[in-house]
Structure formats: C-alpha cells, structure tokens
C-alpha cells in the first residue's frame, strides 16, 4: 500500500479493509478502511476532480442545505467572545451562517467548490465576498476567524487542507471547526449499530452507501488526535449531540419509524449530556501557536 493510502488522520500504514459493502460510484469502487492505530474509518481511493464535480454540483446544496433553515445564534455566541471581525466560512454551502453574521456586523467571505453555486450565491447575497475554491488559494487575504462547518469529513486530505488554511489565518486569528463524530459512543450510535446488524441479515444490499460524500468517520479520540498534530494552540474541544442522522424535530415525524428515530435521538442527547465524550458532534477552537 502506498503512502497516499495511509490513515488520513494519523498517517499510520496499519490499515485493514473492512467488510462494509463498497460504494460503486463514477465507475469506481470505494472501499471502507479502518486504521488499526487510531480507529479512523475512511474511504479509499481518494476522490478525483471528476468525482467531486459530479457529487458537489449545485443540486447537492439545493438538496441538503437551501431547503433547510438553521439557527446560527449558537455560532454567533461562540465567535463573539473572540472579539474579531473578519470571518471566512470555508465550505459555506447556502451561506446561511455568513449571511447571519453579516447582519451582525461581521465582514464575511464564503468559499465553495462548485462554480455554479458560487455564481448563485453572488447574485443572492449582496456585500458578501464569495470565491470559488480554486481561485481562493491564489488570494493573499488573511482572516481573523476561519470556520469549517461539516467540511473536514468531505475531504481526502484533511491535514493538508488545514495546513493550507493556517496560512490564511491572521497571527492572532482563531479556527472554529464543527463536524460530525459518526463513530463516537452515544445511544444513537449503538441503536444504529443494532439496526445495521438486523438489516445485514434481512437485506444486506440496503446497507450499501450510494455516494462517497463522507470520506472520514471519526470518534472524539481520533478527531482530537488529528487536531493535536496541527501545531495549533487548542482553546477548546467539545463533544455535543444533535439528532442527525435521525430526526430531532417533532414536525418531521411522519411514520412510526420516524417516531422511533425521534425518541432515540432525544434520549441519546439526554444520556450524552451526563457522560463525558459521548455525543455525535464536535466543536474545536484553536489559535496559531
């Protein structure tokens, strides 16, 4: 196995291919690999530009982001404590967060991969600087705060991405990173494992993931280990919980199965609030050393 196939978090070469059904996408087969050193589950091979273009066309954001309205008061509360003004959202999606921050007097910039999405965002939001990712790396602007919300799990080179972004952060700047912990203990995780086991017996094919959207599936331990290698000064690493992949809003209950999901996600969040490091999401805050 070549160096490029080492663990995406700890670079160990002790990698085993798991029995999870591979993903067939864009005439390729993506396998599920587990690092025996840090426990990270990740997909191989790395995504090509063609894979990314197909997956992250404008429809992706239409399906997953534009149709949903999120509440960003929690993020505002976190960044207010930094007393900074310029904010980069790398992977800004529907620009929900930065348009909210703009209304709260932040100078905001959004970066996205897809050219069409960037054009749409530019026409939709006035006064926000949107840049396509390929152009962004040629700019010299640096920022007070760099935010990545649910981005790292989509990239095949998370360490390289963070090292590049460090060059875009002011010397007294702050990284604010949020994302899922899809393999971290919590009731919801164990419930999913149980349903996975049953589906594996009844209809194994139903378990096959269709698109390689998420490349890394982390837990609190290896996610922290990943951040510890970046030569940043940690301010906070916090584990929290949200409903996803299950529903967590009453309005979404439309069947007995969704009712069960709702109950599991609510109970899971309640239990996790008492157990340190249980949960399905993290927030990481750090500054330059």
Binding site for Zn ion (CB under 5 A): 7, 9-10, 12, 35, 37-38, 40
Q: Taking the CA atoms of 41, 266, 253 and 97 in sequence, report the sign of the dihedral they define.
A: negative
Question: By C-beta, is 8 or 95 nearer to Zn ion?
Answer: 8
Q: How far is the CB of 147 from Zn ion (least distance, A)?
A: 25
Which of 31, 170 has the CB closer to Zn ion? Answer: 31
Taking the least distance from each CB to Zn ion, the nearer of 15 and 121 is 15
Q: Count other C-beta atoms under 10 Å from residue 172's C-beta.
A: 10
Task: Based on DSSP, count helices (H) and strands (E) in the chain, helices before strands.
Answer: 10, 12
Residue closer to Zn ion by CB (options 5, 150) is 5
> 């905001």: which residue's tokens?
108
Which two tokens mark 266?
């609510």
| Whether 176 contacts 146, CB under 8 Å | yes
- The first and second tokens of residue 166, run together, are 């460090």
Give min distance, CB of 281 to Zn ion, in A: 20
Q: Rounded distance, CA 36 to CA 14, Å?
A: 6
Q: How far is the CB of 225 from Zn ion (least distance, A)?
A: 8
- To Zn ion, the closest distance from the beta carbon of 20 in angstroms equals 17
Nearer to Zn ion, 9 or 113 (CB): 9
User: Per the structure block, which two tokens stand in for 116?
Assistant: 């069409």
Residue 30 CB, nearest distance to Zn ion (Å)? 18
Instruction: State the Cα–Cα distance between residues 150 and 136, nearest whole angstrom.
Output: 19
């Amino acid at each position: 196995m070549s160096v490029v196939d080492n663990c995406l978090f700890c670079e160990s070469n002790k990698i085993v291919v798991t029995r999870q059904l591979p993903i067939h996408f864009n005439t390729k087969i993506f396998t599920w690999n587990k690092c025996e050193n840090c426990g990270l589950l990740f997909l191989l091979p790395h995504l090509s530009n063609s894979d990314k273009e197909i997956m992250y066309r404008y429809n992706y954001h239409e399906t997953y982001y534009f149709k949903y309205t999120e509440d960003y008061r929690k993020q505002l509360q976190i960044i207010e404590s930094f007393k900074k003004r310029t904010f980069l959202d790398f992977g800004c999606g529907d620009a929900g967060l930065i348009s909210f921050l703009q209304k709260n007097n932040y100078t905001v910039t959004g970066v996205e991969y897809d050219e069409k999405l960037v054009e749409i965002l530019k026409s939709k939001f006035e006064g926000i600087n949107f840049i396509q990712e390929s152009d962004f790396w040629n700019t010299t602007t640096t920022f007070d705060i760099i935010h990545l919300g649910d981005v790292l799990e989509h990239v095949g080179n998370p360490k390289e991405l963070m090292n590049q972004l460090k060059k875009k952060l002011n010397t007294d700047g702050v990284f604010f990173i949020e994302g899922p912990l899809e393999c971290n203990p919590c009731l919801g995780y164990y419930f999913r494992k149980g349903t996975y086991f049953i589906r594996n017996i009844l209809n194994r094919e139903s378990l096959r993931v269709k698109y390689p959207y998420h490349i890394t599936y982390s837990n609190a331990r290896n996610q922290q280990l990943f951040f510890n290698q970046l030569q940043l000064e940690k301010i906070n690493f916090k584990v929290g919980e949200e409903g996803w992949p299950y529903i967590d809003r009453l309005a979404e209950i439309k069947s007995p199965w969704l009712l069960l999901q709702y109950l599991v996600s609510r109970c899971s969040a309640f239990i996790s609030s008492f157990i340190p490091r249980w949960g399905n999401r993290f927030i990481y805050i750090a500054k330059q050393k």
